[in-house]
Structure 1
Amino acid sequence: MAASPQHIVVMGVSGSGKTTLAATLAERLGYTFAEADDYHPRANVEKMSAGIPLTDADREPWLRTLSRWLQAEDVAGRSSVMTCSALKRRYRDILREGLPDLIFIHLDGSLELLSERMVHRIGHFMPASLLRSQLQTLEALEPDEHGIVFDVGRSPEELVAAAQEFVTT
């Protein structure tokens, strides 16, 4: 009998390297990849582009869309890796609906390092001015959540190798 599909969310604030890690990890594992930012409704993107933080009410429909995507991949028998800030426990609970074994890889770093990365990032709608509000909103993974925290000061290659080891052992 084939193993059940595995689903991974690479989480953290903007500028933490979620997309780099998730896309590379998905490619190495042969999993489907999704960038959660691609699922934001236009109103959310416009709000963030204007430097206005999203509210829980703004995020909930987006998170439910992401949860449905993860569940559809599971039903189809495909393993997946998704990026998503997943800043609060309740957001992660929405993502985890129907997928109790959902794995979270939290990319964490200092305000200074993350700010530096965001200043040099090209083509993303999220302004560096929202980083502080994201860090204030961020709730650490709790002991009953299946996940791990990695320091983004490590090289992308080290992070991918550590993530791959975590999810395959």
Structure 2
Amino acid sequence: MAKIFILMGVSSTGKTKVGIEMSRQLGIKLIDGDDLHPKTNIIKMEEGQPLNDTDRLPWLERIRDAAFSLETKNEVGIIICSALKKKYRDLIREGNQNIAFIFLHGEYSLVLERMRQRKGHYMKEQMLKSQFDTLEIPLSEEDDVTFVDISGEFEEIVKKCIEATKLQTDDTKAYKKVAVNGINSLNLAKKYI
């Protein structure tokens, strides 16, 4: 059965770069969720305004529909999407039986440093702060989420993400697998509180 992997996290965690490399190595389709934003959202972000739930709704529906399209074609794919809140992830899950999330996470200072190194992206510092404020760390009941720390080298991050795709296609629960490695959502949440 096809599996759709949502590569999630705040801006500047490397979702696009990691997604491109995963797609290349695994030979699977990649959809950049930024391409699915309505024009009004892009304009708002370019002006440095954070998106609210009303802004995000049509975008999340497009993400969900893209996942459903891949699933109905029996294709394996990666969709890049911040998926910051549980209700956003739940909306993406609606009607999609084979969704799994890979959560790229890192300390605010690391992500901010990476954001400052990016050229030509519409994300501004205050918007990154807003994303961290909005972020709801997935808890254990979201057993379709695998955590990948972004503090390592790029190749290691990609390797862990590819391992996460294998975890999520096993019958085991990914949350338990990453908890064995000492990372779980409760420990991670403490870092941001």
Q: TM-score, normalised by structure 1?
A: 0.94
SS at match of 1:103: strand
SS at match of 1:158: helix
Q: Corresponding residue for 1:168? A: 166
SS at match of 1:153: coil
Distance in 2, matches of 1:100 and 1:56, equals 24
Distance in 1, matches of 2:17 and 2:86, equals 23
SS at match of 2:50: coil
Q: Corresponding residue for 1:85? A: 82
Asked if 1:71 is matched to 2:68, the reply is yes
Q: Match for 1:142: what amino acid?
A: L
Q: Structure 1 stretch 34-43 or stretch 99-108: which is displaced more?
A: 99-108
Distance in 2, matches of 1:136 and 1:107, equals 16
Distance in 1, matches of 2:7 and 2:119, equals 21
Distance in 2, matches of 1:101 and 1:154, equals 29
Q: Corresponding residue for 1:141? A: 138
Gaps of 5+ in 1: none
Deviation, 1:9, is 0.6
Q: Corresponding residue for 1:23? A: 20
Q: Corresponding residue for 1:155? A: 153
Q: Corresponding residue for 1:100? A: 97
Q: Match for 1:121: what amino acid?
A: R
1:2-32 CA-to-partner distances (Å, cap 9, x unmatched) read xx11110111101110111111112211211
Aligned length: 166
Residue number among 106, 112, 115 corresponding to 1:118 in the alignment: 115
Q: Corresponding residue for 2:49? A: 52
Greater relative CO (CA pairs within 8 A, separation 6+): 1
Distance in 2, matches of 1:29 and 1:123, equals 28
Deviation, 1:85, is 0.4
Runs of 4+ aligned residues of structure 1 deviating over 4 Å after TM superposition are: none
Q: Structure 1 stretch 105-114 or stretch 94-103: which is displaced more?
A: 94-103
Residue number among 125, 129, 138 corresponding to 1:128 in the alignment: 125
RMSD of Structure 2 on Structure 1 (CA) = 1.1
Distance in 2, matches of 1:166 and 1:68, equals 23
Q: Match for 1:19: what amino acid?
A: T
Residue number among 20, 39, 43 corresponding to 1:42 in the alignment: 39
Deviation, 1:160, is 1.0
Distance in 2, matches of 1:43 and 1:151, equals 32
